Structure 1
Amino acid sequence: MSTRWGMTVPLAGIPLSEHAEVYRTLADAGFTDLWTSEVAGSDAFTPLTLAAAWTPGLRLGTAVAPVFTRGPGLLAMTAAALAETAPGRFQLGIGASSPVVVGDWNAAEFTEPFQRSRDMLRFLRPALAGELVDRQFETFSVRRFRLERPPSVPPQVLLAALRPGMLRLAAAEADGVILNWLSAKDVHTALAEVKTDKPDFDVAARIFVCPTDDAEHARRLGRRMIAAYLTVPAYAAFHRWLGREEVLTPMWQAWSSGDRKGALAAIPDKVVDELTVHGSPAECRARVEAYVKAGVTVPAMALLPTPTLDSGDTPAILELLAALGRS
């Protein structure tokens, strides 16, 4: 079994101010890691800062902090503050994000995502080590920046990657790679591009989990998620590369014509079952372990809504979280 076992936080339906009990439950259940995303809910850093204070034994990670929505200095300062709060327990995951998050919601230009990710990675490594950075990068320039409070233990920097170019960049220059929206079988394809002999190189993966025996409910949610994400150009190209062009083309065609219902209906159960984990807590744990056997070192569950998770019944939610753990 993996020595690490992660959960994406915060959970929907429970106020962030009440997550101390959530974090304690996860720690008691054998979870080792808390991971955050940054889309349109909580930012990536606040839930982890609270966790650092409330549950000092857990490891923390962002998956991901977008490379376009903060300037280089601000991203370094934010990461350094969390690394100082949780020495040796924080990993900074960065990634390009998407045109909607970057452009439509944050008024930034989403241009040259590979180059921007590479440049931010090359800036962050020396900056978080407390070095003076004075350099013209391809996509931005930094003049004489040095952290006033460099962390005693600089955080490892992981890079979110889908296709070969970014996967190879992660292997060459990052401390790990973050995978997303792939099946356990797809992990082998992705990792074939990640050739590195770094002994502590981590392979993190966000795995969408719907812990319910109601397969119809889980597949309905899975279809909505797949249609929303895999129609984004970067994810569409990713799944073409993974070999799903034929099976997903009917969805893409319906979506591009404005037929949203038709797009959902065109997604086969087999694809939903490959890309989302559902079933009893024990079945979900086994499915997540399949990712570990394929090469993932940091599996991070991202829970999809179920009647229990949407109930507002905190004791029942905590019981479900405990059942997904390994203790």
Structure 2
Amino acid sequence: MTEKRWGLTIPLPGTVAEQRELIAELPGLGYTDVWSSEANAADAFTPLALASVWAPELRLGTAIVPVYTRGPATLAMSAATLAQAAPGRFALGIGTSSNVIVEKWNGIAFDEPYKRARDTLRFLHAALRGEKVTAKYDTFEIDGFVPAVVADPAPPVLLAALRPSMLRLAGREGDGAIVNWLGADDVPTVAKHVREGAASKGVSDPEVVARIFVLPGLDADTARGIGRRMIAAYMNVPVYRAFHEWLGRGEAFGPMWAAWEAGDRKGALAAIPDEVVDQLIVHGPAEKCREHIERYVDAGVTTPVIALTVDGDPAPMVRALAPR
């Protein structure tokens, strides 16, 4: 990873179709990547398929596709199709997602997430190379899947990870890790486990993609108010709570968790300290935001991906946040 990368999450606020001109403008602004997500809005693949035509210079990535909500073969087919349409420009990011998305929204049991991620990585590496797969994994069994679409080159597969075992798995059996909801000062703690995993197969520079939440152009009080709502929505999900306990924020988040569990939503928001919001949410003037994002890169992130939160037309802030 020698090229300096600068990514943006798509689709941006608004409808996908109306973003054609802005996405086409991204390479000229200095953006190298666009990365999608998949929760309760757009699916992960359609925005990237459009971007592959609108801005053929951009690298495309999913961050992430849940490993539970598509069958393994369907996931492989979707990835191979997009990788064939954009040769050498697509990276597949997968992850376990959360019990909320998997169980509550999709009615699928959120069982053995580590094993499911590991098994999916192993299956995908074979299927995306075009191999016939007949295998019994711990969490699913494949009987005679023959991929009829095979991209050349096969896309790299990255794994979303939060804590040490999954981070090492991302480096050991994946092509790198995708992380989010961490501060710039947390990056060395996280990245070292990815590097440890990658070192076991002789790789010294695994990719580390970080989705970074950015609220530009707002005064501090407004940005922190929005940021508190975003943080509370995630930090009360078990996997993110465990992540921040591991990072050492148990004491800082303790009052928020206690108020939330007591049903006091207003009190929970108020209990999130300003300094924690400032660590996890990039806000302020565009130049200050760029400097904050660069801190993630200096700390070990190879691909920063801006997740932009704005009211109204996102184009002015997309342009203002372009790399200098």
Normalising by structure 2, report the TM-score: 0.96
Shift of residue 199, structure 1, vs aligned partner: 4.8
Secondary structure of the equivalent of 1:206?
strand
Name structure 2 gaps, 5 residues minimum.
Answer: none
Letter in 2 for 1:58: L
What is the SS of the residue equivalent to 1:93? strand
- 1:126 to 2:131 alignment: no
**Which of 314, 319, 322 lines up with 1:322 in the alignment?**
319
Q: Which residue of 1 aligns with 2:283?
A: 278
Q: Structure 2 vs 1, CA of residues 199 and 90 (structure 1 numbering), >3 Å: closer, same or farther?
A: farther
**d(CA) in 1 for partners of 2:280 and 2:301?**
15
1:238 maps to which residue? 243
Task: Report deviation, 1:201.
Answer: 1.8
Instruction: State the one-letter code of the partner of 2:4.
Output: T
Residue identity opposite 1:127 in structure 2: A
Aligned to 1:300: 305
Q: For the residues of structure 1 that align with 2:218 and 2:233, how far apart are their CA atoms?
A: 24
**CA deviation map 1:74-114 (0-9, x unaligned):** 00000000001110000000000011111111121111111
Partner in structure 1 of residue 58 of structure 2: 58
Q: Does the CA contact (< 8 Å) of 1:188 and 1:294 recur in 2?
A: yes
Q: Which residue of 1 aligns with 2:4?
A: 3
Q: CA deviation at 1:324?
A: 0.6
Task: Output the CA distance in 2 between the equivalents of 1:218 and 1:135.
Answer: 49
Amino acid at match of 1:318: A
Check whether the contact 1:2–1:292 (CA below 8 A) recurs between aligned residues: no
Q: How far did residue 178 of structure 1 move? A: 0.5
Please give the secondary structure, in 1, of the residue aligned with 2:193: coil
The offset of 1:54, in angstroms, is 1.1
1:152 and 2:152 are equivalent in the alignment: yes
Provide Cα deviations, 1:17-42, integer angstroms capped at 9, x if missing partner.
12211212222210000001100000
* Residue type of the alignment partner of 1:302: A
Q: Which runs of 5+ in 1 are unaligned?
A: none
Tell me if structure 2 keeps the 8 A contact 1:251–1:264. Answer: yes
8 Å CA contact 1:25–1:322 kept in 2: the answer is: no
For 2:209, give the aligned amino acid.
A
In 2, Cα distance between equivalents of 1:281 and 1:146: 49
Which secondary structure state, in structure 1, belongs to the residue aligned with residue 171 of structure 2?
helix
Q: For 2:3 and 2:9, how far apart are their aligned partners in 1?
A: 17
Secondary structure at 1:193 match in 2: helix
Matches of 2:321 and 2:88 in 1, distance apart? Answer: 26
CA distance in 2, matches of 1:253, 1:26: 43
1:209–1:277 Cα contact (<8 Å) kept: yes
The C-alpha deviation readout for 1:137-173, integer Å capped at 9, x for no partner, is 0000000111101111110000000001101111111
Letter in 2 for 1:150: V
Match in the other structure for 1:26? 26
Q: CA deviation at 1:238?
A: 0.5
1:53-132 to structure 2, matched below 5 A, reads: 53-132=53-132
2:263 is equivalent to residue 258 of structure 1: yes
Separation in structure 2 between the aligned mates of residue 131 and residue 199 of structure 1, nearest angstrom: 27
* CA apart distance, 1:200: 5.3
After superposing the two structures, state which structure 1 stretch, 21-30 or 293-302, moved more.
Answer: 21-30
Rounded to whole Å, the distance in 1 between the matches of 2:149 and 2:191 is: 36
Q: Which residue of 2 aligns with 1:138?
A: 138
Whole-angstrom CA distance in 2 between matches of 1:61 and 1:282: 26
**Which segment drifts farther, 145-154 or 61-70?**
145-154
Of the structure 1 ranges 200-209 and 63-72, higher mean CA displacement relative to structure 2 is found in: 200-209
Matched length: 318
Q: Deviations over 1:28-84 (max 9, x none)?
A: 210000001100000000000000111100000000000000000000000000001
CA RMSD of aligned residues (A): 1.2
Deviation, 1:2, is 6.8
Structure 1 runs of 4+ off > 3 angstroms?
none
Aligned to 1:206: 211
C-alpha deviation, 1:319, in angstroms = 2.5
Matches of 1:158 and 1:192, distance apart in 2: 16
Give how far 1:320 is off: 2.0
Partners of 2:204 and 2:18 in 1: CA distance:
38
Counterparts of 1:285 and 1:24, CA distance in 2: 21
Determine if contact 2:13/2:309 at 8 Å carries over to the other structure: no
Amino acid at match of 1:265: A
Q: Find the aligned partners of 1:219 and 1:303 in 2 and give their Cα distance.
A: 15
Aligned partner letter, 2:62: T
Q: Which residue of 2 aligns with 1:289?
A: 294
| DSSP-derived class of the 2:184 partner | coil
TM-score normalised to the size of structure 1?
Answer: 0.95
**Which amino acid is the alignment partner of residue 11 of structure 1?**
L
Contact 2:32–2:58 (CA<8 Å) still a contact in 1?
A: yes
Q: Partner residue of 1:186?
A: 186
Residues 224-271 of structure 1 show CA distances to partners (whole Å, capped at 9, x for unaligned) of: 011000111110010010001111000000011111001000000000
